[in-house]
Amino acid sequence: MRQHPSNQGPSAADLAAIEDEWPAIEAELALVDAEIRVLTVDRPSALDWRRLRRAEHRALTARHLVYGTQAPAPAASAGPEVA
């Protein structure tokens, strides 16, 4: 039986591209986790808001490093300020 070309799996170049982008992918996953936490708890704690802000910063930094894009200025946080 002959396989369709799209069923052959990723090429070595595809896998290398994924590996190169992995820091950005990992940072985006951490950001989604932090967003889910803030959205699903009754009252997000100061630690939850800090985790979200740090995840946003890491995602922006990773995008800048991986894709070479200009990182936008950070937006004002909706959460409480933590000293």
The DSSP-derived string for 1-65 is -PPPGGGS---HHHHHHHHHHHHHHHHHHHHHHHHHHHHHSSS--HHHHHHHHHHHHHHHHHHHH
In a domain, 72, yes or no: no
Distance of CA 58 to the CA centre of its chain: 8
The reply to whether the predicted model has a pTM over 0.75 is no
**pLDDT of 57-79, one tens digit each?**
999 999 999 998 655 555 555 56
User: What pLDDT shows up at residue 1?
Assistant: 47
Whether 43 shows a pLDDT value over 60: the answer reads yes
Number of domains making up the chain: 1
Query: Is 81 within the bounds of a domain?
Result: no
Domain that holds residue 61: 16-67
pLDDT tens readout for residues 3-13:
656 678 889 99
Let me know: does 27 contact 58? Beta carbons within 8 Å: yes
Q: Indicate whether 48 belongs to any domain.
A: yes
Q: Is residue 53 part of a domain?
A: yes
Q: Choose among 78, 74, 81: nearest CA to 39.
A: 78
